[in-house]
Every structure is written in structure tokens, then in C-alpha cells.
Amino acid sequence: MSILIFAEGVDKSIKKSSLEAVSAGFALAQKLSTEAIAIAIGEYDAAALQELGKAGANKVLHVNVAGYPSAIAYASIIAGAAKEAGASVVLLSKSALGDGIVSRLSVQLNAASATGVLAVPEVSGDTLKVRKSIYTGKAFAELSLTGAVKVISLAKNAVPVKEDGAAATVESKTYPLSDLAGKLVHQKEEKASGDILLTEADIVVSGGRGLKGPENWGMIEELAKILGAATGCSKPVSDLDWRPHHEHVGQTGVKVSPNLYIAVGISGAIQHLAGVSASKVIVVINKDPEAPFFKAADYGIVGDAFEVVPKLIEAAKKL
């Protein structure tokens, strides 16, 4: 028996959300008196793989395959590792890639699965009890997963990263790839480089239609830069092409769960709130004191964004 944790990377480093999954895997392995094994696929710096040990992995499997990193390819590799390690639980972080992996793994391993789980699963005999958000942030469900194998993805920012784990041994591995993987032909990619990923960010600064036009995003970007934040937006803003679609937060866009979400000139429609309600602290800056967002906020400033944000930037520079 063991717990296998899939660690996803970005630019040869392990994503913070994956370190969270490894830490959750460590905690679960403790409860089940077994070991936590991390698997990283692709090219990594050696130091990056050591991060997995610090986060709680007892052992790291490194599968250095090139080629298009599809959920199909990854699922077949992880399934191979899970069978070899006799894993009773496979853990990973919730993302679009993660969803694809969970779905295929649950079929391949005949496993019970749940996505977007909010805490380290509780153990009750052979059953794992998990909690997840449903109705896009409006409610929670408690589920029981039964059967010999479970595949679970964790919501981002739900479990803190452990930093005091021991050094882990790293083993180079290969596992068979599914034939299906070759059916997807990757043509090109368009990605903002160097920016903090919206879904990974501890802080998000988001702008809405109240900002009047794309030319006014300079101050949002500046505030984000000073705070080490990612930038987001409301749906009309991406519909109007003021900002790229992958920044659109809400029911039909990205769901975020940062420590701090700062909304500027966003009214707080229920569909927007659906994507941000898992944030730990919400700050709203809006000139209309009746804006519904204030009801969902922890802190607020009633005022004109074009006056408040520049002052906020000046104050933030002094932090």
C-alpha cells in the first residue's frame, strides 16, 4: 500500500498547488501508516524535485518523457506507477489537466473519485470521507469514497505546504504510454510567460467594467505587480476583449481560491461571486455603496477606482 501524488510542473519547477497535494498526501499517509510517493513527469531541475521531499514525499518517481503533456499520456504513466506501487490513493491538484487525469485514472484503476476536495481526506476503515464545494461555491457536500483505490484532486490553496520534510530519494522511471496519446497532435501554444498564474496566485487583483476600457488596466497591473498578485477580470471585460479570456473569473470562467481577492469596479453579480467565494479574504473597491459585491466582501472602499487605486499603489510601495 502507498499514497501516490502526481506533481504538476511549470517551467521546470513544481507548482505550489502540487506541493499542497504532496503535503496532503503526507498527512494522509501518516493516518494510514504508509508512505507518500510523488511522481513528476517531464523535465525538472534537480532542486525542484527536492522540493517534493520537503513537502512530505518519502520517495520521488521522475518520469522524463518529452512530447505533448496530455491528460491521456499522463494518466497512463500515473496508472502504471500506481499499479507498481500498489497505491490505494492517488492524489493530485484540481485543474483542467487534473480533471482529465482523474477521469481516465478512475476508469483504468476502477477507482472511486472526487475532484476539488477541500481538506485532507478523513479515514474511516476502508472508506475515505471528503468535503467538496458544489453548485459552484454555493454549497458543500460530504462524500464517502469506497473500494480498493481512490483518486482525489484537491482544491487549490486548501492545504498548507509542509516545508520540513526529509530529503527524498529520486528514482528515474519509465511507464508505458497509452496509444491514444498519439492521437492528439499539438500544434502551438500561446502563453503569457513570466506572469503569475491566476489559479496559482496567493493574491488576485481583478478589474470589471467599472474601469471603462483596456487602456485603464495599467494601474491594475501595477498594483498586482507590487503585491505579487495575478490579474483577473469579470466576464464582460473578456467578452469585450479588454483582457484575455483566461483571466475571466466566475461561474463560466476560472474559479480562484487565493488568500486575498481584490475586486475593482466589479458589481458582484452572482455568477462572478461563484468563481471567487472560496477566497479567504475579499476586498471590494466600487463607487456604488449599493454594489452587491460589498455583501460578499470582508473589506471595502466606497470610492472612485481612478482615485483610490493610485493612492493604494503609493501606499503599497511603502509596505
Residues that bind ligand FAD (CB under 6 A): 141, 208-210, 234-237, 249-253, 265-267, 269, 271-272, 275, 286-288, 291, 304-306
Separation CA 53–CA 73 (nearest Å): 25
* Contact yes or no for 24/52 (Cβ under 8 A): no
Shortest distance, position 89 Cβ to ligand FAD, whole Å = 19
Kindly write out the interface string for residues 21-60 of this chain, putting x where it contacts other proteins by CB under 8 A and - elsewhere: ----------------------------------------
* Residue 34: strand, helix, or coil: coil
301 touches other proteins (CB under 8 A): yes
Residue reference for cell 481538506: 119
307 touches other proteins (CB under 8 A): yes
Shortest distance, position 271 Cβ to ligand FAD, whole Å = 3
Contact segment (CB under 8 A) with other proteins among 31-39, 46-54, 84-92, 110-118 equals 110-118
For other proteins, the binding residue among 2, 58, 88, 95 (CB under 8 A) is: 95
Amino acid, single-letter form, for residue 206: S
Length of the chain: 319
Binding residues for other proteins, how many (CB under 8 A)?
A: 91
For other proteins, the binding residue among 139, 172, 215, 290 (CB under 8 A) is: 139
Separation CA 205–CA 284 (nearest Å): 10
* Contact yes or no for 183/202 (Cβ under 8 A): no
Shortest distance, position 137 Cβ to other proteins, whole Å = 8
> Which residues have a Cβ under 8 Å from the Cβ of 281 and sit 6 or more positions away?
259, 260, 261, 298, 299
Which of other proteins, ligand FAD, none does residue 71 bind to, with CB < 5 to 8 Å depending on kind?
other proteins
Burial class for 190, CB neighbours closer than 10 Å (0-12, 13-18, 19+): exposed
Shortest distance, position 166 Cβ to other proteins, whole Å = 29
For other proteins, the binding residue among 42, 236, 303, 306 (CB under 8 A) is: 303
For other proteins, the binding residue among 64, 123, 146, 174 (CB under 8 A) is: 146
CB-hemisphere CA count at 13 Å for 148? 8
96 touches other proteins (CB under 8 A): yes
298: left (phi over 0), alpha (psi -120 to 50) or beta: alpha
189 touches other proteins (CB under 8 A): yes
For other proteins, the binding residue among 83, 173, 225, 246 (CB under 8 A) is: 246
Hey, how many other C-beta atoms are within 10 angstroms of the C-beta on 167? Answer: 9
* Contact yes or no for 240/182 (Cβ under 8 A): no
Which of other proteins, ligand FAD, none does residue 162 bind to, with CB < 5 to 8 Å depending on kind?
none
